[in-house]
Structure 1
Amino acid sequence: MNSLLGHLLVLDLADETASYCSMLLGGLGANVIKVEKPGGDLSRNIGPFYKTRVGKISLPFLYNNAGKKSITLNLEIRSGRDIFRRLAGRADIIIDTFPAGYLKRRRLDYDRLKALNQRLIMASVTPFGQTGPRKSCTADDASISAAAGLTHLHGHLQGSPVNPVGNQASSLASLFAVSGILLALQNRSVTGKGQSIDISEQEAAASALVNPFVRYFSEGAITHRNGRMRWDNMAGIFPCSDGFIFLTFDREWDILMDLMASDNYDPYFNSAEWKDPVYRRQRCSRIIEAITAWTRTYKVAQLFELGQSMRFPWALVSDMASLKENPQLKSRGYFSSTGLSGTTPELALPGMPCIFDGNRGIPTLKVPLAGEHNDEVYGQMLSLSEEEIARLKKNSVI
């Protein structure tokens, strides 16, 4: 296990929109304590599910919470908030996804907590940030993608926009949260003081649209969705005999034409005007039709190897099954095993997408049961007696 952050204590108050942030910190060795409401976090009920001997388990929860400790704590009552303040006094980092103003109304906002612990760093991930006219608006990953401009660029121009697949907005927000936390840690090492970090999911997702932004602000041109083709029609996804491949054919034009001619495909692009990129873009439909006919005669692997041999950025279009068996990912140990404490058969899941001195960071650890570490945290960290812990449980504080 990599222990780059092994000296840090993280309190994870995040739901599924930012659990990936604390998972990454935990993968680097941080001691992450997930603070759940009594009975367990609602994200434990988000599918798809994995069937086990003891019931079904949320796969997203399993992936985002491997290696964390879990305590239960009711922040809606005063005694629960008092306990949280004691934990915050010891913590290095708090990550939360509560709506703007939620913690302030409960007197658990950063300004109050830093009075207890000036070294505390607090990262708040919300749909639209802590300020602005939409700070209190509700959203999920799909609606954030729509609000950030991602959805507008997915699908065919003639049809409706299509929701991007995967949790792109929340994943980007989590990565920005990690970056902000690491920068705040560096600053703390100099000043001795922590700070609050305000992460907007909308802004994080919109950061992926640099090229469309530049086109609009410099040219006034709005980039529209373009189906299987890139916005300029000089790259796209083409069918092969056994799948699909992503091809570029702008700078590769002359060599691609030679390749097609060697296969007896003469797509009437020999005249001098076709060497002009602007001329080609104005007549892209004829080019796409010709390349499609050519790629159908190849297998995906053949075209991939052919393109790579010429240093072309061509790529196989992978599905989940082919990704699981991808030799590159396998050779780098991208998939790791995890499970639910003592009950779940091992299951392969994606690991951290970076390696430190040969160590990927996320170890093979179990996913905690809700409140599994109550006795350890409340007993050892806060020095509560067994009787006190039992009373807290009886009174629905934990």
Structure 2
Amino acid sequence: MPDTTVAPENTGPLKGLRVLDLTRVLAGPTCTQMLGDLGAEVIKIERPEAGDDTRGFAPPFVPNTRESAYFVGVNRNKKSVTVDIASPEGQAVIMKLLESCDILAENFKVGALAKYGLGYEQLSKKFPRLIYCSITGFGQTGPYAPRPGYDALIQAMGGIMSLTGEPNGSPQKSGVPVADLFAGLYGCIGILSALNHRHATGQGQQIDIGMLDTHVAWLANQGSNFLSTGENPPRLGNQHPNIAPYQEFPSKDGYLILAVGNDPTFERFCKNFGQEHLLADERFATNPKRVENRQLVTDTLTPLMKSKTTAEWIVALEALKIACGPINTLKDVFSDPHVIARNMVLEMDHASGARVKVTANPVKLSATPPSYRSAAPVLGQHNAEVLQGILGMSEAEVSALKEKGII
């Protein structure tokens, strides 16, 4: 696989496509950053003076800049243009940009853009090839469609919080905003599918992404467990609902994850660490029985796991091809030799003159890898480039828009 590189050259498979980005915060920007990494030209429309909400989600700021770490993390490979879309002049700018755009991505409340003449039904008549991706909390239809969507709210309503946390503790959300992230990634998948359809037929379409829908979709085995039994799965802390032992254990100096995925692996574990007698006990002999007796399994193995340090266990278990790993802090993650070898951290030149660190795109393409052309922009950084270079406005016309507060 090619190394991850930061260079102005565009090597992505979506090179030549132009995206009008009317998204903000996280779900939408995650989608459009992926498109940008894959080579699309992304023009991010922001509110004059204020910009994307996440520009104010700080501290922390990126060192030696006035930019929030939050904003910088999901807005690389984008051009920032400030436009007041509530004004007729601003709407005219957007309409002119759409003449050369392939994709519009937005995460406004349902019906909000239609007030400005920028709804899908309005634009599809004039731009039939346009792919229009709408990311909202609850989708374009249904009783909850008008409601605003927030990550924690969706995690609560989507069921994941009922599954997360200690058995006797309170429901817990994930430590990262997974509802936003999944919605953005599903949005990107929808856009790529629509591009293939347009390639075959010449027709654009709307992609309706509801955060609650995507959340329900990724309930995975837990959702399937419920649909098969009608029983709400309990919170199990770090234990697996269908496999045992598959959880964290205390070691002599900390914790580690032990993931015994099948019966042969459990047999190998027992025979190598003095627990062969457990194999004759029907409560331990098969995975279904271990799941049924998970507390007994935990209580039985805990004293053994405390007999070695985390590092000692990892060496011993890896030699036997038994899955295990430390519970890393983020400092540990970003200094991990494998993460480093996989080029998962980038340093990019920022318009402020500083160098900014960001996580890389994890999609490793052998022929057309993601490209990293520009760090997240400062607000309005590309006004002149886009308005003059793409739309052909004169410097005087751009200045007049600025004086009126349109850009």
Counterpart position of 2:323: 313
Identity score, percent: 27
**Does the residue aligned with 1:7 lie in a helix, a strand or coil?**
coil
Contact 1:62 1:340 in 2 (8 A): no
Q: Do 1:338 and 1:367's aligned partners in 2 also have CA atoms closer than 8 Å?
A: no
How far apart are 1:333 and its partner, in Å? 0.9
Q: In the TM superposition, what whole-angstrom CA distance separates every residue of 1:293-339 from its partner, at most 9, and x where no partner exists?
A: 22222232332343333333323322201110111111121111135
Instruction: State whether residues 12 and 369 of structure 2, in contact with CA within 8 Å, keep that contact through their aligned partners in structure 1.
Output: no
Query: 1-side partners of 2:48 and 2:189: how far apart?
Result: 31
Distance 1:358 1:299, change over 3 A: farther
Q: Find the aligned partners of 1:270 and 1:392 in 2 and give their Cα distance.
A: 77
Alignment match, 1:237:
248
Residues 52, 215 of structure 1: CA spacing in aligned structure 2 closer, same or farther, 3 A cutoff? Answer: closer
Residue 198 in structure 1 maps to residue 208 in structure 2: yes
Q: What is the deviation of 1:366?
A: 2.6
Q: Is the 8 A contact 1:339 1:367 kept in 2?
A: no
Question: Is the Cα contact below 8 Å between 1:68 and 1:368 reproduced in 2?
Answer: yes
User: How big is the alpha-carbon RMSD for the aligned residues of Structure 1 and Structure 2?
Assistant: 2.0
Matched, 1:259 2:268: no
Q: How does 1:12-23 map to 2 (within 5 A)?
A: 12-16=21-25, 17-23=27-33
* Paired letter, 1:38: P
CA deviation map 1:333-391 (0-9, x unaligned): 111113531332x2322111111117651415232111111111111211111111111
Instruction: Output aligned runs, 1:86-101, within 5 Å.
Output: 86-101=96-111
TM-score (norm 1): 0.93
Question: Which residue, 42, 53, 56 being the options, matches 1:45?
Answer: 56
* Amino acid in structure 1 at the alignment position of 2:399: A
* 1:170 aligned partner: 180
Query: Partners of 1:116 and 1:394 in 2: how far apart?
Result: 30
Partner of 2:386: 377
User: Could you tell me which amino acid in structure 1 is paired with residue 266 of structure 2?
Assistant: W
The Cα offsets for residues 214-246 of structure 1, whole Å up to 9 and x where unpaired, read as 212222222121112222461111122343221
Q: Distance in 2 between matches of 1:64 and 1:118?
A: 29
Between 308-317 and 36-45, report the one with greater CA deviation.
Answer: 308-317
**2:272 partner letter:** L
Partner of residue 370 from structure 2, selected from 353, 357, 361 = 361
Distance 2:84 2:129 in 1: 25
- 1:43-82 aligned at under 5 Å gives the runs 43-53=54-64, 56-82=66-92
Count of residues in Structure 1 that have an aligned counterpart in Structure 2: 392
Aligned to 1:338, which of 332, 344, 348? Answer: 348
Determine if contact 2:105/2:132 at 8 Å carries over to the other structure: yes
Say if 2:164 is the partner of 1:154: yes
| 1:152-211 deviation per Cα after TM superposition (whole angstroms, max 9, x unaligned) | 111112121011110201111111111111111111111111111000111112222121
Match of 1:246 in 2: 257
CA distance in 2 between counterparts of 1:279 and 1:62 reads 49
> Gaps spanning 5+ residues in structure 1: where?
none
The Cα offsets for residues 41-95 of structure 1, whole Å up to 9 and x where unpaired, read as: 22211134225445x3211110111121110000111111111111112110111
Deviation string, structure 1 residues 135-164 (Cα, Å, up to 9, x no partner): 111221111111111111111121210111
Unaligned 5+ runs, structure 2 = 1-9
Residue aligning to 2:16: 7
SS class of match (2:207):
strand
Q: Counterparts of 1:190 and 1:268 in 2: how far apart (Å)?
A: 63
Letter of the aligned partner of 2:374 in structure 1? L
Distance 2:210 2:290 in 1: 40
Q: Which amino acid aligns with 2:237?
A: G
The 1:376–1:71 alpha-carbon spacing in structure 2 relative to 1, beyond 3 Å, is: same
Instruction: Give the TM-score taking structure 2 as reference length.
Output: 0.91
Question: Letter of the aligned partner of 1:244 in structure 2?
Answer: Y
User: Secondary structure of 1:65's partner?
Assistant: coil
Residues 2 and 27, structure 1, Cα contact 8 Å, conserved in 2:
no
Supply the distance in 2 between the matched residues of 1:278 and 1:52 (Cα, whole angstroms).
52
> Quick one: distance in 1 between partners of 2:339 and 2:267?
33
